[in-house]
Amino acid sequence: MSPENKTVLLFDLDGTLVDSAPDLAAAINKMLLALNLTTFPQEIIRGWVGNGAKTLVERALQHSCDNNAAVDNSLSEAKVNEALAIFLNYYQQFLCVESSLYKGVRETLLALKDQGYRLAIITNKPTEFIEPIITGFELKGLFELQLGGDSLIERKPHPLPLLHACKTLKVSVAQCIMIGDSKNDILAAKAANIQSIGLTYGYNYGEDIRVYQPDWCLDTFAELLDLLR
């Protein structure tokens, strides 16, 4: 059964449109080195991505401290904020070095736009990084709205960003569909009474996205064209 009467597509960014884990991992390891802490392989750091920059930093610090008995493993707010500032500084310098669009993303987005769909981004990533990434991957001009994790007082899985998008774009929840790779996307959609499409690739902490019961589940981004035709 295909979605009906949808006019607005709300997309997550990391793990949905962009495989950003390589550059996030590089920045995390640079941060850990600057703090004289243990670094980690990219594949491990991938499992920490998806809840925004601060949570990513907290997970890296906790795992690094847990692996070093000589280091105080208590995470004060001051320690986290210091590490976060270091991470953001490194990441800002290397946003699109090893990151890449997932297969079929650009072509599919262009086709959906041509079909008349209105496109928006709702991510937990800090807002300051969205535009440089969109520009770097030649997606500029496709999205009417770009909301980051710090755009509002709440972020996914809270429904506020999705409801704010509906209000801003002057559409009903029934006209929208949320598309993402993480349980945060699906839970936010359910809380907002918006239908959702779960993508099986990307970052979902090792869990099967089907556990969270999206309305549809796809293995590749390009499959959206068949579903939304």
The answer for residues whose C-beta is within 8 angstroms of residue 65's C-beta and 6 or more apart is 37, 71, 72, 73, 75
How far apart (Å, rounded) are the C-alpha atoms in residues 181 and 15?
Answer: 6
Torsion of CA 49, 104, 199, 18, to 10 degrees: 10
Residue 12 designated active-site: yes
* Long-range Cβ contact pairs of 71-77 (< 8 A, separation 24 or more): 71/37
Amino acid at site 38: T
Please identify which of the residues 12, 14, 181, 185 carries the catalytic annotation. 12
How is residue 21 annotated by DSSP? H
Tokens encoding 103: 């297969």
Q: Which residues are catalytic?
A: 12
